[in-house]
Structures are given as C-alpha cells and as structure tokens.
Amino acid sequence: MRWRVRKKTLAHVLVAQEGYMSAYRDVTGVAEPTTVLTFRSSGDELLALAHAGPPFYRPPWSSTVVGMVLDDDTDWGEVAELVTESYRFCAPQKLRHRLDR
C-alpha cells in the first residue's frame, strides 16, 4: 500500500518476499517474507535513522528514503511520528500547516 501527497510517495508498506521486490530483501538482509515500511526523512532524523541499525535500513534508490522492518516489536507510536514527519517532508506548505492547527 502506498500513501501519496501530490504524486510524491510519503509512505509505502509491502511484504518483501521471494520473487517480489528482491531489492527490499537485499537491503534488510532478511530472507523470509518480511513486512517493510519506507518513508521520507531529512536532516538529523535521516542521519540518526540511517545509522540506527535494525529495524531501520537505507534503501539505495533514494537519498531521502528510510526503511523499517515491521514486526511484533514495532513501536506503532514511533511509526505514527515517522509517517507524520514524512508527510511534512512531502506536502506543500499549505497542507503542512494544517498539521499544526
């Protein structure tokens, strides 16, 4: 599933499995089917997540995308914050201001 704002993908969730999108499996290092989330980030947050290690990873296809393996230990509050920040990154200023109301 992909979430977009003005044709920009702000978040993408999929199950990376054999025969489908092996690039996701390659960057996560997980061989079995794995649910992953990718989202946009920038600045210090991008650097921190890129160097945090599992469950985070950096896909090679974009300098502003961070990936996260979703599993039983996923902190859904953190996911909500990361996706909200991804929206702020992708959305035009008029839409970003609506989050701050």
- pLDDT of res. 16: 80
- pLDDT of res. 25: 66
Q: Identify the DSSP state of 55.
A: T
CA torsion, ordered 86, 93, 7, 90, to nearest 10 deg: -20
CATH number of 2-99: 3.90.1150.30
pLDDT tens-digit map of 52-74:
988 998 888 889 999 999 999 99
Give the pair of three-digit tokens for residue 51: 């160097």
pLDDT tens-digit map of 20-53:
656 666 666 666 788 999 999 999 999 999 899 8
Work out the number of other CB atoms within 10 angstroms of the CB of residue 95.
13
The domain segmentation of the chain, as residue ranges, is 2-99
